[in-house]
A and B are shown apart, each in its own frame.
Chain A
Amino acid sequence: MFNIRTALRKCRFGLVPFLFSVVYILSSPSLAAVAMGEVDTVDKLLKKLSHAIRQENYRGLFTYEHGGTLDTMEIVHAVQNGAELERLQHLNGPPREFIRRGRPVDCATVSGHLLRGALLSIGNMAISLDQNYHFYLRGDDRIAGRNAHVLQVVPKDGYRYGLTIAIDKISGLPLKSLVMTNTQKVLERFQFIELEIGKTIDPQALRPSLDKYYEVNHDKRENCEPRSIMQAQWRAVWVPHGFVPTHYSYAKREGHMLNYTDGLASFSVFVKPLIPGDVVKQGVAQRGATVALMSGLSLENRPVEVTVVGEIPAVAARRVAASMRPIQ
């Protein structure tokens, strides 16, 4: 179970209580639904969604569309002996395959908690999904031959995007997902074409089909405890409301990496120390809903290159980048 209390005991950096004093409260404030008689339906839908993605066996084909390009991929997910086995492969363009094996199915994630309506306590703030988003049921749709509820998710501030998710009525899996700006401009769209749920998955479908594939690595998460953020040497002084740090790591290539999520959206900040003579790249790039914002920061003669990558508006990314500070 996701227990941060043990993580607290290992806290060495009293200076940043907001990062470390995450106490998990098991409560589910109801995410009010749109119509009378549908009160609690949004709650239930989101709970069902978060469980289905982790616990169902499914195999399907879907499209990912952004900026006029359409990519197609296959996803396979199975649960064996309490662990998840998953594979995602790109069917067009350069062959790409991602495989994840062995994550315990009951290893709860921050988003999982927030989607199930929990209240997370960070420092002296309590955070829940409905502080940052409105939820509306928008009737029905039919996708991949399956009937779905349509859930519209509207952000309460300009620092995150809106979503429209079509959720399979029977299983709770997301069949379609659109990410939209506040002007209803669609940035990206996932949509299943074909989906098989609940059947036993052919083991061949879970094995790598390519010579080169990317093994999604979870050594750091054996016990599902976010101990890693204890060691963070940088932090974002400002993040949009409701974003919670979930992971920290350092590698020579990308520098320090901090990851944040608000339950639906997420972003990562990379801080790379620079040495004289380095060229600092600055600018904004966009692909679908993902922004990559590069900028330089010079703090007390410690020049660093900060890059924010995530599915958040550039205005939020910019502000986060400017607020990066080292933890002394």
Chain B
Amino acid sequence: MTESSSDKLRESLSALMDDQASDMEIRRIVKTLGSDSQLKDCWRRYTVASAVLKQEWRGGSTADLAESICSAIEDEPSYNYKSDKSIPAKTWTGRLGQVAIAASVAFVFVFGVQQFSYLEQESPGVGALANIEPSANLEPLASLGSNEDLPLNSVVSDGLNLPPLGVQTVSSAGNNLRVPQTFVKQGQASQWLTDPKLQSHLSHLLIQHAEQSSASGGMGMLPFARVSRLEPAGE
């Protein structure tokens, strides 16, 4: 019984290959194809046969198409400039011209968008910055997207933008102090923002950092441009 029905299916299948299957047959095939691996195999063979007959088959294994596409992709030269020096010069110099023009346009936009985004408190339009072409080989970066990392709000104070801080008192037992798991999110109105002691403390640390950054860094005195305030000597 099964044999004749599977024979029948195969007949229907070959009819389908020749575009001569009836609606009922097509429906039956579709229903069974999902679950019947023998029928799938059959389908594969018929497809190859029909392609060969129509002279469309280019050879190669009859293995799963998905697999063969995967291996084809892997075989393609990767455009990682670091590891593969055989990047065809043609492709690369062709693109360079476009990049150069895009780069000069991009810088204008970056400046404009930066200003507006600051006022509107939203991220810069992706379109403008898309001109800065990221490498196709950029690895996925660790999550930087969360807003708590980059609070660029519209506070105009020349100090550091401070979200409200959590404070904990150190107990004599020393056990109450835990390593904090989460940090205070930016965006809440903050009374700490104008806390002069905290601003002063952070400014001082920033100066120490700038000093070392300039001493061991490659940009000369530039790090001192970041210092917002200078403490009177001895404070």
Does B65 make an interface contact (CB < 8 A)? no
Contact present for A164 and B132 (CB under 8 Å): yes
Interface positions of A from 72 to 118, Cβ below 8 Å from B: 73, 75, 77, 86-88, 90, 93-94, 96, 98, 100, 109-112, 114-115
Interface size class of A (residues with CB under 8 A): 35 or more
Does A276 make an interface contact (CB < 8 A)? yes
Docked pose: A285 CA to B118 CA in angstroms: 17
Instruction: Say how far A243's CB is from chain B's closest CB, in angstroms.
Output: 11
Contact present for A277 and B169 (CB under 8 Å): yes
Docked pose: A139 CA to B134 CA in angstroms: 15
CB < 8 Å neighbour of A281 from B118, B167, B213: B167
Does B68 make an interface contact (CB < 8 A)? no
CB < 8 Å neighbour of B158 from A93, A111, A178: A93
Interface positions of B from 204 to 230, Cβ below 8 Å from A: 204-209, 211-222, 224-230
Docked pose: A160 CA to B190 CA in angstroms: 28
Does B184 make an interface contact (CB < 8 A)? yes
Docked pose: A39 CA to B135 CA in angstroms: 17
CB < 8 Å neighbour of B215 from A32, A65, A218: A218
User: Nearest residue in A to B211 (C-beta to C-beta)?
Assistant: A216
Does A34 make an interface contact (CB < 8 A)? yes
User: Nearest residue in A to B166 (C-beta to C-beta)?
Assistant: A282
Residues of B with C-beta under 8 A to A275: 170
Residues of B with C-beta under 8 A to A112: 218
Does A25 make an interface contact (CB < 8 A)? no
Docked pose: A288 CA to B155 CA in angstroms: 12
Instruction: Say how far B107's CB is from chain A's closest CB, in angstroms.
Output: 6
Does B62 make an interface contact (CB < 8 A)? no
Contact present for A283 and B103 (CB under 8 Å): no
Contact present for A284 and B218 (CB under 8 Å): no
Does B82 make an interface contact (CB < 8 A)? yes
Residues of B with C-beta under 8 A to A141: 103-104, 107
CB < 8 Å neighbour of A292 from B124, B202, B217: B202
Instruction: Say how far A96's CB is from chain B's closest CB, in angstroms.
Output: 5
Docked pose: A283 CA to B195 CA in angstroms: 14
Task: Type the 1/0 row for A16-55, where 1 means its CB is closer than 8 Å to any CB of B.
Answer: 0000000000000000111111010000000001100110
Main secondary structure on A side of the interface with B: strand
Interface size class of B (residues with CB under 8 A): 35 or more
Contact present for A296 and B219 (CB under 8 Å): no
Does B115 make an interface contact (CB < 8 A)? yes
Does A233 make an interface contact (CB < 8 A)? no
Does A241 make an interface contact (CB < 8 A)? no
Known: A96-B230, A139-B100, A279-B168. A221 touches B180 (CB 8 A): no
Does A138 make an interface contact (CB < 8 A)? yes
Does B141 make an interface contact (CB < 8 A)? yes
User: Nearest residue in B to A276 (C-beta to C-beta)?
Assistant: B172
Contact present for A283 and B165 (CB under 8 Å): yes
Known: A69-B158, A139-B104, A158-B144. A49 touches B205 (CB 8 A): no
Instruction: Say how far B235's CB is from chain A's closest CB, in angstroms.
Output: 9
Known: A67-B118, A141-B103, A315-B144. A295 touches B216 (CB 8 A): no
CB < 8 Å neighbour of A50 from B173, B180, B184, B218: B218
Chain A residues with a Cβ under 8 A of chain B: 32-37, 39, 49-50, 53-54, 62, 64-65, 67-69, 71, 73, 75, 77, 86-88, 90, 93-94, 96, 98, 100, 109-112, 114-115, 130, 134, 136, 138-141, 150, 152, 154-159, 164, 174, 177-178, 181-190, 212, 214, 216-218, 221, 246-247, 253-254, 257, 259, 261, 263-264, 266-268, 270, 274-288, 290-298, 301-303, 307, 309-311, 313-315, 318, 322
Q: List 6 A-B contacts (CB under 8 A).
A: A77-B220, A96-B229, A150-B103, A217-B211, A257-B212, A281-B167
Chain B residues with a Cβ under 8 A of chain A: 81-82, 85, 87, 89, 92-93, 96, 99-101, 103-104, 107, 110-111, 114-115, 117-119, 123-124, 126, 129-130, 132, 134-135, 137-139, 141-145, 148-156, 158-175, 177-180, 183-184, 186, 192, 198, 202, 204-209, 211-222, 224-230, 232-233
The list of the 4 closest CB pairs from A to B, nearest first, reads: A139-B100, A158-B142, A158-B141, A68-B118
